[in-house]
Homo-oligomer: A and B are copies of this chain.
């Protein structure tokens, strides 16, 4: 078991199954694209343990509270770690997080995107540690996200090929 998975287990955190793609939806790209020592991660959303997309859905600041969205961002982090594990096999091959782009489906006037995406960043820093887990970040407000997701995050990590 990798160190990252040990830390997840210690915290009682479980990696979700792959996204159950809704009927009729076509997603012609991998979860993670490996090029050289770069693992580039496609936009991920919050998943339940069985891979179904997790609500609440809609706009943060109207349909979804900051606290709920913070939890959705953490769940998105778990989905991303699960995708990295499926692609890389061993999460300890990750030598450093590079960038994270946190997208919050935002109601008019909502401006607490950083508090939402902190649910993701705190998870990554906790399970990868402060050096490997360190990442550049933006957390911004989108007009809309696929499937009315409240949060979507993309990113990139470095790994040992």
A interface residues with partner B (beta carbon < 8 Å): 25-30, 32-33, 35-36, 38, 40-43, 96-101, 103-115, 118, 121-122, 125, 134-148, 152, 154, 156, 158
Contacts and interface: CB of A to CB of B under 8 A. Distances in A.
Given A32-B136, A113-B146, 13 more contacts: A29-B100, A29-B135, A33-B97, A38-B98, A42-B138, A43-B137, A43-B138, A101-B138, A106-B143, A109-B144, A111-B146, A113-B144, A140-B142
A40 B137 CA distance: 9
Given A122-B28, A144-B106, A144-B110, A138 B158 contact: no
A14 to B, nearest CB: 23
B146 A140 contact: yes
Nearest to A26: B118
Number of copies: 3
Nearest to A33: B136
9 contacts: A26-B114, A29-B121, A33-B135, A43-B140, A107-B144, A111-B145, A111-B148, A136-B154, A140-B145
